[in-house]
Structures are given as C-alpha cells and as structure tokens.
Structure 1
Amino acid sequence: MAELRESYWDADPSSGLIARDRRGGRYTAYIPDLICTRPLILSSELSTKAAAAERAIRKLGSGPGAKGLEGISRLLLRSEAIASSMIEGIAPSPQQVALAELAQDEEVRGFGDHARLVANNITVLRRASQELVETEFVTTEDVTALHSALLPGERHRGLREVQNWIGGSNRNPLEAEFVPPPAPEVEPLIADLVSYLNGSLHGPLIQAGIVHAQFETIHPFTDGNGRVGRAVIHTVLARRGLTPGAILPVSLVLATLTHRYVAGLSAYRYVGDPLAPNAVDGISSWLSTFVESAAIAAENASRLADDIGDLQREWTHQLGTYRATQGLREEPRAGSATARILQMLPEAPIMTTRTVQRILNVSFPPARAALEELADAGILTRKSVERGTTGYLASQILDLIGLAERRLASTRFDTRIARPQRSAPALPDERHG
C-alpha cells in the first residue's frame, strides 16, 4: 500500500552553508502503489465526462480542419519544448519560433535565443515522441532516452540515484513540499509505469492522466521531470489512436490551471488502502481535473480548426479575385506551386523560395513566381530574413496561433473575461505596432 517512509538527512557541518542548509533531520518520502495492480474506482459521472472528451478529441482528427491543426501542432505545443528550466514559461512569439524552425534548414535571422532553443526542442520532442508511438513496447530505456533527447545538456543521465524533492531548500528535503520515492524504489516503479503504459486497462484519457500523475509522483530524474512528464501524456494519447497528429494542447491548459493541477496531484498521492474513500476521492479529483483540461483543450483546438478553415476559404476567394484582375482564371491549376503552397501555409507559415523548392521539389522560377503571386494577392507578407533573402509570412496564421495561446493562458479561456495569467504571445496589433 502507498506509504510515507521516514528517513534521516545527514547534517553537513563542513559545507560552509548557512545553518539552515547544513543541518540534518527527519523527513518523509512518499512511495506510491504500483499502478498495474492497483484497483481503480471511477464514478459514472467521471467515466461519462472522459468518454465525451475522447469523442471531442477524435473529432479533431477527422473534421474539416484536421490537416491544418496537425500542421500547426508544433506551434501550439511549443511550451512543451522550452529547452531549459531557467526559461520555463517564457513564450517567444509564433513568428520567432517559425523563423527559428526555418533556420534549421536555411540561413535565416530575426529571432532570439529563446526561440532557437524552443525550435530545437520541438524537433527533438516530435522525433522522440514519434519513436515512442511507433515502438511495439515502450521500455524504461525508451523513457530515459526521451529524457536525454529533451535535456541534451543534463549531466545526470538515466534514472536518478539520489533523493530529490520539490520546494523548500535547495540543500535538503527537510522543509520540502513533496519528497518523491527514495532512489532504490525508482526503477521498479518506472518498470510498472511502462507496463501500464503499454496496456489498455483503462480508456486513453484515464490512462494518460494516471501515467502523468504517477510519473510526476515518482520524479525519476534529477531534472527535467516536467518536460518528460508532459511528453508522456502525448505518447499515451497517440499510441491509443486518440491524437495521431499530437494536436491536443492539454499541457497548456494544465499550465494555466496551476493551482488545480498541483492540488490534483497532491490529492492523487493517498496513503494506505487504495479502496479507502480518501484514496478513491483523491484519484478521482486528479482525473477530473485532467479530463476537464483535455475537454477544454479539445474545444479550443476545434475553434482554432474552424478559424483556420475560414481563413483558407477567405484566401481562396482573395486569390481568385486577384487573379481575375490579372486576366487569369480565378482558380490556380490543381497541382501548381501556388495551389500547393496555399494548402501548406498552416504547416509552414514562413517560407522562402528555397523552402518551396525543397518541400515541393520544384525549380526556382515557379517557386518564386508562386510566392510572389500570393504576396501580391495580400495572402503573404514579404520580410527580409537574411541578406538578399526574402521570407514570405502567412501572418494571419501566426496571429490565429497567438490568439489561441492567449485564450489558453486565460483562467477562463476567454481573454474578454480574464487576461492571460502566464506568458503568452502579444496581441497582433501590439506585435505589429
């Protein structure tokens, strides 16, 4: 049964630290039950809410805006990719991140170090997550490899071999808010977690919620647990076929509902019999928060999909009107560079001629002509991204992403009612002003 185990922290009188940090004393570490064998009781109300949220999430992958959402998922989820705990929560603009991503393949400037770090980690996260989705069985080694990929500069690789803690002093756990299991307990707990992750004992959302809470409770690494813990949410949902395009920004919602998130994880950590009322209520409290966050994320992603669909229809009309003034047929030839770029803009909102050549496998003249036509039609905006190189921005896509992130940073998920409570992109008029 889950327990609080008392341990003793040895004093270090020769460390040269202040008295508060060099003292020793007793503390208690939490050891959770194994989740593969732990009974779980869900109320009919919670089960119904989870099923409704799963239906809403599945619709995201099959609705008219699904392709557009899949394309911008990396921008919506860029908070997952903050590359250092020192800059956790900083939100470079969608334009800066898009430029930094483009710079991975081309010579581009006009973005800061934070955007570069985020873009690099987006690439790593997508690659590593895809590998976890495609593998037949996830192993402990896969989880530690994900950690290494997300934190390439971390000195301590693999599962931790020391005690860690959350809150209080950086020098000892005596006043910590939470002390995870002692190091010898970590390996068997993670083995149990990946066994549960590989199965389908519960529905996808419930499984993802339990995996995340258990992972954060084990806190298996010396640093980076938050980033890996968020990544495993998407791993579970994608492996279960709920979000094959990784388009659910549930972590952005959890980051906004910080107090409820922390309270939910605390409630999850019961002591004693898992069937006792306090344990059942505690796990249900956490899962209710997680399921509600997933439902909110799905609702906002659906709204963004609708906005993208409306924008693409507006672009089609706008391009047709422009072409008519040039004496051309309103609709570009199917398969032409212009038609293909128009469909790709949600996925690649910043392009150069080289980008189009690389992605569409066309020569320079049609690539340049297509971008110029879309710019002349008012769909793309020209921007110098390097000496002698013009970038073409779909600024309206970037604005939609920024507005969506601002909504997800509001505790009411509506900036007309409550302003963003954490780092979020500026309003379009503030950015362009």
Structure 2
Amino acid sequence: MEQRRGSNVPKEPDRVRGSNDNAWPVLEWESLRWQAKLGSGPRYMTEAPYLPYKAAIPPMITNVRCTRAGEVTAAVEDAALAIRDFDHEFGNDIAPFSAILLRTESISSSQIENVTANARSIGMAELGDDSKRNATLVVDNVAAMNAALSAADSLETANVLEMHRALMRHADPGGAGRWREEPVWIGTSSASPVGADFVAPDAKRVPELMDDLMAYAARNDIQILAQSAIAHAQFETIHPFTDGNGRTGRALLHAMLRNKGLTRTVTVPVSAGLLNDVTGYHEALTAYREGDPDRIILLTAEATFRAIDNGRHLARDIEDARSKWENGIKARRDAAAWKIVDLLVRQPVVNSKLLEERLGLAPATIWRQMQVLEDAGVVQGFDKFKRGRHWWSDDILTALDAFAARSGRHGRG
C-alpha cells in the first residue's frame, strides 16, 4: 500500500550497503528524520517530533553491464519471439483488436492496484459517465497507455510525466504530471514511514534518478524484454510520484517495447499475466532491490506467455461474435450498420453523440441503423437518464469480462 503524509527533514546520508553481492548493484540506504505532526498518532510520536528512518538510495544503472544466466536469456528470447508472432498475427487481422488489447492491458494494470470495474461500467465512463469512480480511473489508465505509445518514439522523462498526467488527471489533478515532493512508502501505517516495509528515495533524488533510468531505457545493447522489465523495476523502486506509480511504470514498459520495435501494432496485455501472481510480482520487485534482477525478468517473460494465450482466447471470442452478427444482420454491405459494427468491437457501449462524431452519421441514420442492429441481436438499447439513448453489445462486453476473469487477481498461499 502506497502511503505518504507529514514532512521530511533530511540529514547527511548514512549509507548502508545491501548484503547481496550480485553483479547487479544493490540498494544503499540513508538515514533521514521524520517530523511527526503534533497531536496525531500515538503518544510517543507527539513527544518525539523527529523520528529516524531509512530511505532507499537506488543505484544509477545507465551503464550497468550484467550477464544473464543461460536459462534467463533463453526464456526472454522465447518470450520476445512470442510477442513478435502475436503482433504479426493480430496486428493486421482484426482491425480494432489493437484498441481492445490496449483496453484490456489498462484494466489488468488497474486491477493489480485493486482498481476494478466491469466492461460495461468502463464503456459508460468512456462516454462521460462519472458515477463509477473506478471505471473513470480505468479510462484514465487507457489514456495513460495511449500517451505512452504516442510518446514511444522518444524515451524521455517529459513523456513519463505526460503518461502520469493522463493517468491522474481526475484522481489527483494537483499532483498529475509532477515529480513528488514528499516521502512515499509501502507499509501498513499511513502516519509515518518509520518501520515501513520500503521507503522510496528522498524526493530530491527523483529527477536525477529518472534521468538515469531513461538513459538506461534508451540503450540498444540489451535484450529488449529484459531491459523493459529492469526499467520497470527500477521505476517502481524510485517511486517518482505520490500515486499511480505502478500503472505508470507498466505503461513505460509498453512504451519501451514499442520504441524498440518488439511490438508494432498491438499491446500485449502483460499486466493480465502478472495478475495471475501478484504476490510473486511484488516479491520479484523486492528481489530486484536486493540485487537480483532475474526474478522480475523471468516473471515478465512468464506473464507474456500467459497474456498471449489469454489474448488469443479473447480474439476467438470476438471472431465468434462477429460471425454470429454476419449471419444475423439484414443490411446491405455498404450500409452504415457495418461501420457501427466495427466501432462496437473496440467501443462496446455507444450513444448517438459518439456515432455522430466518430462515423459522421446523421441522427436519423443512427436511429435507423441501430434498430437494424437491435433486431439482429448485435446491440441492446437503453435510455440513460439525462444522457439519452445508449446501446451496448452484450457479446463484446461478455468477452471482455471473461478475459478479466481468466486473468484474475491471485496471490500465493
């Protein structure tokens, strides 16, 4: 749980080296002092306003060279080949499938942070319905993913800030797109970092650490998937924002895959694979901080295979739905109904305004064509109070919810 509150009073670093003498550099630590708020927390805190704690000092990694074990190198290469095959197979096959996969990745990445919403609520949020907060947050995650892919040509810190701005524009408008200026930590207490499981680096270190990370991300002499997994782990260690670090970090991973050419059209829903073992994911991040990057690399490779299998299952479900529609729609091939069908695959909840804006259809045409699709069982119509007539596709919504269910959110034990 990411928490922060109060103020931080640093003193001169008291660096303590980690114990794992690995080829990959380990964290160092510095002693800082926490200024408790008088009148808050337990009695000892009000009587001792300055409390010592240890904050991480992540290593600079721009020029780090680390030889992978043979089995790790092989697993990463196999996963990279699977990604390329998946991208080639579906990138030009189902035209809207890239948008569907980006949505599923955003949903899964949000689920890792316990932000869950069903496909219909998300569809409504995309149309401006803000009645379900989690659905709005997932839609913002979709925006962050789009920002990540749009910025993939240039791996710069400014683009990371833009991803975060898109993600947090509703949840934290004041902090969106800004490096944090306060301590953040992972632990059970919201009152103090003292005794926390992990305290991220002092806020003053964040800009330099992020510049170093993005320089590492720009290197071209490392296996792409391994490099992306390490960059993600380093990002989570830096924790550069007050909130939204996990989702932004996973968006960065996809920006790197696109930047390096491992993906060209589709977004492999890696987060859906990570959801199968959230505990293992967190343990792998801890191992990285202790000087063992292989666990997060292997976990990312394994998640890739699970995500691809799940993505293929989703593609089959969508193809089955479209085949059923083909047999049921009574309209000429040049009718607007078929354009609407293509839109429904990537946006399964629509209204008149969206159809007019996206497809340039007149209101009378929309009502006529949507009636054709209702008669064919492609969509179901409903009236949303003060928002007019809406339609949704049960077939696509069911396929998306089934994808999420197969991903699940599991721990160990």
TM-score normalised to the size of structure 1? Answer: 0.78
CA distance in 2, matches of 1:388, 1:411: 37
Residue matched to 2:12 = none
CA distance in 2, matches of 1:56, 1:267: 26
Structure 2 spans left out of the alignment, 5+ residues: 1-24
Amino acid at match of 1:316: E
Residue matched to 2:231 = 211
- The question of 1:32 aligning with 2:51 is answered no
CA distance in 2, matches of 1:92, 1:27: 37
Amino acid at match of 1:121: D
CA distance in 2, matches of 1:8, 1:339: 63
1:12–1:406 Cα change, 3 Å: closer
Residue matched to 1:9 = 33
Matches within 5 A, 1:39-188: 39-63=65-89, 66-79=94-107, 88-103=113-128, 112-114=131-133, 117-118=136-137, 120-122=139-141, 124-134=143-153, 137-152=154-169, 153-156=172-175, 158-188=178-208
Residue matched to 1:286 = 296
> Deviation of residue 313 (structure 1)?
1.6
Amino acid at match of 1:405: A
Structure 1 spans left out of the alignment, 5+ residues: 104-108, 271-278, 324-331, 413-417, 422-433
Q: Residues 93 and 402 of structure 1 are in contact (CA less than 8 Å); yes or no, is this contact kept in structure 2?
A: yes
- Residues 55-64 or 40-49, more deviating: 55-64
CA distance in 1, matches of 2:28, 2:141: 37
CA distance in 1, matches of 2:341, 2:165: 37
1:207–1:67 Cα change, 3 Å: farther
1:33–1:388 Cα change, 3 Å: closer
- Aligned residues with identical type, % of pairs: 26
Q: Residues 56 and 201 of structure 2 are in contact (CA less than 8 Å); yes or no, is this contact kept in structure 1?
A: yes
Matches within 5 A, 1:267-346: 267-270=287-290, 279=291, 282-319=292-329, 323=330, 332-346=331-345
CA RMSD in angstroms comes to 3.0
Matches within 5 A, 1:202-241: 202-241=222-261
> Deviation of residue 232 (structure 1)?
1.0
- The question of 1:385 aligning with 2:391 is answered no
Q: Give deviations 1:360-380, integer Å, cap 9, x for gaps.
A: 223333333222112111222
Q: Give deviations 1:148-168, integer Å, cap 9, x for gaps.
A: 332232545632344432214
1:249–1:261 Cα change, 3 Å: same
CA distance in 1, matches of 2:343, 2:313: 19
- Residues 402-411 or 46-55, more deviating: 46-55
1:204–1:53 Cα change, 3 Å: same
1:361–1:389 Cα change, 3 Å: same
1:25–1:119 Cα change, 3 Å: closer
Amino acid at match of 1:91: T
- Residues 73-82 or 211-220, more deviating: 73-82
> Deviation of residue 245 (structure 1)?
4.3
1:357–1:101 Cα change, 3 Å: same
1:34–1:8 Cα change, 3 Å: closer
1:12–1:374 Cα change, 3 Å: closer
- The question of 1:194 aligning with 2:214 is answered yes
1:102–1:74 Cα change, 3 Å: farther
1:6–1:298 Cα change, 3 Å: same
Q: Residues 278 and 410 of structure 2 are in contact (CA less than 8 Å); yes or no, is this contact kept in structure 1?
A: no
1:310–1:173 Cα change, 3 Å: same
CA distance in 1, matches of 2:360, 2:141: 25
3-state DSSP class of the match of 1:171?
A: coil
Q: Residues 96 and 345 of structure 2 are in contact (CA less than 8 Å); yes or no, is this contact kept in structure 1?
A: yes
Residue matched to 1:262 = 282
CA distance in 2, matches of 1:34, 1:215: 12
CA distance in 2, matches of 1:145, 1:208: 19
> Deviation of residue 42 (structure 1)?
1.5
1:335–1:304 Cα change, 3 Å: same
CA distance in 2, matches of 1:97, 1:350: 9
CA distance in 1, matches of 2:233, 2:149: 22
- The question of 1:401 aligning with 2:396 is answered no
Q: Give deviations 1:384-403, integer Å, cap 9, x for gaps.
A: 23459432221110001001
Q: Residues 80 and 227 of structure 1 are in contact (CA less than 8 Å); yes or no, is this contact kept in structure 2?
A: no
> Deviation of residue 405 (structure 1)?
0.1
